[in-house]
Amino acid sequence: MVLFYSSIIVILFLSIFDLVVGLINDAVNFLNSAIGSQVASRRIIMIFASLGILLGAFLSSGMMEVARKGVFDPSFFYFSDIIFIFLSVMISDIILLDIFNTLGLPTSTTVSMVFCLLGGAFSIAILKMISPLNEEPFHHLTKYIKIERTLIISIGIFLSIVISFISGAFIHYFIRFLLSFEYESRLKYIGVIWAAISLSSMTYFLIIKGLYSTLQGNNDMGFYLFIQRFIKYIHHNFIIFLLILFSTWTIIAKIFVSLGYNILKFVVLYGTFSLAMAFAGNDLVNFIGVPIASIQSYNIWKEAGSPPAEKYNMKSLSGNVQVPSLILIVAGIIMILTLWFSKKTKNITSTELNLSRQNEGTEIFLSNSFSRGIVRFFIFLGKNIFKFFPKRFLVKIEKNFKQKKNKKEESPAFDLVRASANLTISSILISIATVQKLPLSTTFVTFMVSMGTSLSDRAWNRESAVYRVSGVIKVIRGWFLTGFIAFIMAGTIASFLFFFKKWALIFFIFLILFVFYKSYNKYYKIQYNIEEKLLFNNTIDMTLKSSLNRTFNILKPTLEYIENIYKNSIEGITQENLKTIQNSRNNLLKVKENFKNIHNTLIQVIRRTKNNEPIAGIIYLHIYNKTKDIIESSDILTHSTLVHVINSHKPLIYKQKKNILNLKHLMFEHFNIIKKITIDKNCQHIQYVSIVQNKIIKKIEEQMNQQVMGIIQNKYGTKNTLLMLDILLQSKKITESIKDIILIYQNITSNADL
C-alpha cells in the first residue's frame, strides 16, 4: 500500500494542470479592464500583469487559504481519508475548471476549491459515520465538517455579487456624470482628482490585500516584521495615511497631465499590476496548497513508520500548511507562461467584454423570458421615476452620457474612465472585505462591478439589454452551479476512491485525459466558429468590388451545404433512411447558425458603404435576402421530410419517387451554374441558362398537377400530399432565388467594369 499512496502523491504533485486551468479562468480578474479599454498593446498589458504575478508569488506566505478557512477538521480523519479527499479535490477541480474555460465562462477558483474540499470531506465523513465500527448519529457530522464556516462563505459570496453590481452601477454613474464621455477636456482638473482617488485606493489595496494578507505567518523575519508594523501603523492612522496618499498621487497626476500624458492610462496599468499581484499572492495557493498539504501528510505518515493508513489519525495536519517560497516562485513562472501562451485566456475574457462593451456588435447570448421580464420592469420603473424630475435637469444629465462617435476601425469595448472605475471599485470592495475578514470571490467582484459600470454607461440599451441581462444571469447561474457540481463531483470521486482504491485511481486518470481531449476538440470547434464570424465581421470600406467578393464568400460555402442538404433530403425520403434525413437536418441547422453571423453584422457592413457607391450596399442586401430565402426554403424541406419519416407515415409511391429524383438532377444543374460563378468570381463569361430553369418550373408544375389529380382520385393520403407539396414548392422557391441571384450578378457586370 506504500507504493499506492506514493503514486497518489506523485499524481497530486502534478497540480500544474490545476494551476494552468485555474489561471486561465482567473485571468479575467486583472486583464479585462486593460484589454477592453485598449490602454496599450496586449504585450504591454501582459508585461504589467506578469510583473504583478511574479511579485505576488515572491511575497506570498504560502499559507493554504482553504485550510485557514477550516472546511473540515483533519483530527477526525485517517491518513487514507485525507489523501482520498485531496485527490478527489484535484481531479474535480481540474475537470470542472477546464470545462468552464472551454465554454468561455468565468467562474471562481476559490469557490470550486472550497466546495470540492467540502464535498470530498462530507462524503468520507458520512462513510465513516455509517460504518458498522462507528455507527455515529448524523449530528456528529459537525465534528467532521465546519458547517457554520461554510454557510458564512456561501452568504458572503451571494452578498458580494449583489453589492458589487450595485456599487459598480451607483459609483460609476457619478464618475461618468463628472467626466462624461468627452473626458479629455476635463482631465486637467476633475481627471486629476479622480486619478488620485483611484491610485490611492489601489495603493491601499496593494498594501492590504497584496502585502498584508500574504505576509501572514512570516513573523520570524525582520523585513516582514517591519512591514507588518508599518501596516499596523496605517490601521491606527487610517485617515492621515489616505490623505498623504491622495496628496502624493494628486501631485504626480498633475505633473503627468501637464506634460500631456493621459493619466488614466497609468491608472489602468497600475490597477492591472495590483490586481495581478494580489491574485498571485493569495489565490495561487488555492491551486498548489492541496498537493503540498498531501505531501506533508505523506511525510507525517512516513515519519510515523508507515502504520496502517486506515488507522493513522491526521491531527498533526490541523495547523497551517506552509508552502516553500521556491515552489511558489516556480508556480508563478508557470502562471506567467500560461498567461502569455494559452489561447483560452482570450476565450474567457471575450465573455465579459462582450457583455460590457459600449459599441455595437454581435450578441453571444440569447434572450429568455426572465431577462425580458427584468428589462420590461426597469423600463416601466424608469418611466415612472423620471416623471418626478424636471425635463431641463434630465437633459443636462443626458449630455454627460452622450457617447462620442468613434471613427476608429476597431474601437475599444469601453473607454479609460470605465476601465479605471472597474479597477478602483473592485480594489475598494476587496480591500474592505479583507480588512473585515469577510469571504468573497475576486472573480465575482470584478465581473459584477464591470456589469454595473456598463449598465450606468448605458451600454445596456434597448437594443442589447435583454441579451446582456440573459448573459449575466447565465454566468451567475454557472457560479452557483460551480459550488453544487464541485460538491457532488468531489464527493462521488472520494467515495469511489474509498471503496475501489487503485482501480478508481486508474479510472479517474483516464477520465481526466478523456475530458482534456474532448474539451480541446470542443475549444477548437469554437475557435473555428469565431474565425468564421471574423470573416464576415471585418470592417473594410464597402465598394462595388468588395461587396461582390463578400457575397461570393457568403454564397460559395452556403450553396455547397444547401446542395448536399437537398440531395440527402431527397434520397433520404425516397429510401426512407432516417439517419440520412437527420444528418441533412443537422447540417441545415449549422447553416442557419452560421448565417446568423451574417444577419447580425448586416447593418454594420452596409454602414461601411462608400457614399459615392451606394449600389454596393444595395447589392449586398439583395444577395443577403435571396440567400436567406434559399436557407428558409431548405429549412422547410428538411423539416417536412424528417417529420414524415420519423413519424413512420406512408412512403411515397414509385411514380412520386421517380418524379422527385428527376427533379433533383435538374436542381443540381441549377446549383452548378451559381456555384461556378462563386468559384470563378467572374460573371462576364456565364450566360443565364434559362432552359434549365424553365425545365425545373415546368417539371414542378406537372408534378403539382399530378398531385392534385391524385388527391381528387384518392390516390394519395393527407401526409403524403403535404410532403410532396412542400418538396415541390420549396424546390421552386430555391430555383427562383438562384435565378434572381444570377440576374443581379448579370446586371452588375453588364453595367460596370469589374
pLDDT digits 0-9 by tens, 374-390:
888 878 887 787 777 78
| pLDDT score, position 690 | 67
Sign of CA dihedral 593, 594, 599, 600: positive
| pLDDT score, position 524 | 58
**518-524 long-range Cβ contacts below 8 angstroms, 24+ apart:** 519/98, 519/99, 519/101, 519/102, 520/102, 522/102, 523/102, 523/343, 523/344, 523/347
Phi, psi dihedrals of residue 267, rounded to the nearest 5°: -60, -45
Max avg pLDDT among 12-26, 325-339, 395-409, 619-633:
619-633
For a pLDDT cut of 70, what percent of the chain falls above it? 79
| Eight-state DSSP code of residue 140 | G
Write the CB contacts of 499 (distance below 8 Å, at least 6 apart in sequence). Answer: none
Write the CB contacts of 99 (distance below 8 Å, at least 6 apart in sequence). Answer: 515, 519
Cα of 190 vs its chain's centroid, Å: 35
Residue recorded with cell 497584496: 210
Are 591 and 565 in contact by the 8 Å Cβ rule? The answer is: yes
**Is the per-residue pLDDT at 247 higher than 90?**
yes
| pLDDT score, position 413 | 77
What integer is the mean pLDDT of 263-289? 78
Burial 399-434 (b: 16+ CB within 10 A, else e): ebeeeeeeeeeebbbbbbbbbbbbbbbbbbbbbebb
**Is the per-residue pLDDT at 222 higher than 90?**
no
More confident: 575 or 688: 575
More confident: 535 or 522: 522
Sign of CA dihedral 514, 515, 518, 520: negative
| DSSP H stretches of helix in 38-146 | 42-59, 65-69, 79-103, 109-129, 141-144
Q: Lowest mean pLDDT: which of 135-149, 348-362, 435-449?
A: 348-362
609, β-bridge pairs: 542
**Is the per-residue pLDDT at 684 higher than 70?**
no
The predicted-structure confidence for 706-719, as pLDDT tens digits, reads as follows 878 877 777 777 78
Q: Which strand (E) or helix (H) includes residue 28?
A: helix 28-37
**Is the per-residue pLDDT at 251 higher than 90?**
yes
**Is the per-residue pLDDT at 268 higher than 80?**
yes
| pLDDT score, position 636 | 92
From 464, 476, 458, select the one nearest 366 (Cα to Cα): 464
Q: Amino acid identity of 71?
A: V
Instruction: Give the chain's length.
Output: 754
Report d(CA 271, CA 202) in Å as an integer: 6
**Is the per-residue pLDDT at 204 higher than 60?**
yes
Domains of the chain: 2-532 (no CATH), 542-751 (1.20.58.220)
Q: Lowest mean pLDDT: which of 175-189, 285-299, 496-510, 730-744?
A: 285-299
Inter-helix orientation angle 416-435/192-207, to 10°: 40
From 579, 616, 734, 575, select the one nearest 667 (Cα to Cα): 734
Report d(CA 361, CA 364) in Å as an integer: 9
More confident: 171 or 208: 171
Report d(CA 738, CA 631) in Å as an integer: 11
pTM value > 0.85: no
The predicted-structure confidence for 86-124, as pLDDT tens digits, reads as follows 888 888 888 887 777 666 666 777 778 888 888 888 998
Residue recorded with cell 469577510: 438
Average pLDDT of the chain is 78
Enter the C-alpha cell of residue 218. 512570516
Rg (CA), the chain: 32
Report d(CA 418, CA 426) in Å as an integer: 12
| pLDDT score, position 488 | 92
What integer is the mean pLDDT of 564-579? 89
Kindly indicate the confidence band of residue 36, based on its pLDDT and cuts at 50, 70 and 90: confident
Enter the C-alpha cell of residue 63. 499559507
More confident: 166 or 277: 166
User: Within 13 Å of residue 695, how many CA atoms lie on the same side as its CB?
Assistant: 14
Enter the C-alpha cell of residue 576. 426512407
More confident: 451 or 443: 451
Distances (CA, A) of 426 to 109, 233, 419, 433: 17, 24, 11, 11
The neighbour count for residue 706, using CB atoms within 10 Å, is: 16
Kindly indicate the confidence band of residue 37, based on its pLDDT and cuts at 50, 70 and 90: confident
The predicted-structure confidence for 51-70, as pLDDT tens digits, reads as follows 888 877 776 654 455 544 56
Q: Lowest mean pLDDT: which of 72-76, 488-492, 506-510, 688-692?
A: 688-692
Are 395 and 138 in contact by the 8 Å Cβ rule? The answer is: no
Report d(CA 74, CA 62) in Å as an integer: 19
Are 542 and 611 in contact by the 8 Å Cβ rule? The answer is: no
Query: Would you put residue 64 in left (φ > 0), alpha (ψ -120 to 50) or beta?
Result: beta
| pLDDT score, position 250 | 92
